A and B are shown apart, each in its own frame.
Chain A
Amino acid sequence: MTECKGDIDCRGAVQKLWDYLDDELTPERMDEVRRHLERCGDCLPHHEYGRVFLAALASARQTDARAPDALRRRVMDSLRAAGFST
């Protein structure tokens, strides 16, 4: 595999893969990883694995979890006892 000057190798790409998937790299670094994934058959499965894993993890968020009414009342009671006036 030919490496272009300035491009990262497989180790560097995998080190940055979570950051890449989290969109936490600088634009230049994002491009570096993206270019590497486009031409590296070894690293692409890692990317897919991480992507699917994070999607599954995000789906585990219990979006329907709401504070129970009893807790809301309890919070308001304690706030009023502390001086909250609305």
Chain B
Amino acid sequence: MDDRDRAAGQPPPAPAAGTNEEDGRLVPQMTASPDTARQDDLRFEAEALPYIDDVYRFALSLTRDPADADDVVQETFLRAYRSWRTFQPGSDARRWLFTITRNVFLRSRERERRHVDLEDGDLEALSSFAAATDQGRDGSDQILSRIDLAPALRRALNDLDEPFKSAVVLVDLEDQSYEAASEILGVPIGTVRSRLFRGRRILQEKLMTYARDAGFTTAQRGQRGSKDD
């Protein structure tokens, strides 16, 4: 299942009734009857709890720490449960849970809110591929297809700062569309683009540093007989 495919036609999860809650949505104030509460619990078990692995993976990518991720997951599901009657049946529970996860994470890391957003995604895209061009001059671009980058990328992702990391994780690892990421992060799509493209550029730079440290680019230059040799 690819969220990019469905995102365009997928309405955001809409609240059913009530006041506010941690995810910025509405929560009912009325008291549910025992039967209704039981039905809600069954729905929560069937529609929300199956995403615990997804939420855990997202939380782990945000916190970088298993113990912190556990705390975020527990709080996420607790808040989700308390707000469950605001969740509209048929909407995207995974996206809704990611929104809460992100908010729980930010609450625990208030410093993350201090970042100033860059709004020009087009400029970030140009910078990203301009860097690639520079790397191409010393053969570094070919490293991407020559070595197993996954371990280096995981390490680079762990080191990537917010708010860039959330954008990269949501779009590139969790297959969320720009629109879905915008909804989860609570920012305009243009901001998602700029964060995403900047995050990708930082990762590219880290990869090239990794490659140079590992001697790949030196070897590449040697094979090409660079005049710098």
Which residues does A use to contact B, with CB under 8 Å?
11, 14-19, 22-24, 45-46, 49-50, 52-54, 56-62, 65-68, 70-72, 74-75, 78-79, 82-86
Contact = CB atoms under 8 A, between A and B. Distances in A.
A66 B196 contact: no
Nearest to A54: B172
Could you tell me the dominant secondary structure of chain B's interface residues?
helix
B221 interface: no
B141 A15 contact: no
A84 B44 contact: yes
Interface string B106-145: 0000000000000001100110110011001000010011
Contacts, number: 119
A49 to B, nearest CB: 5
A75 B56 CA distance: 11
Contacts of A83: 37
Contacts of A17: 125, 129
Given A18-B125, A71-B74, A84-B41, A62 B57 contact: yes
B169 to A, nearest CB: 9
A18 B201 CA distance: 11
Contact of A86 (B42, B70, B73, B132): B42
B129 A14 contact: yes
Given A11-B126, A16-B125, A58 B172 contact: yes
Contact of A18 (B55, B57, B78, B196): B196
Given A46-B129, A65-B53, A78 B172 contact: no
A69 to B, nearest CB: 11
Nearest to A65: B57
B52 interface: yes
A65 to B, nearest CB: 5
A85 B38 CA distance: 7
A86 B144 contact: no
B82 interface: yes
A58 B57 CA distance: 14
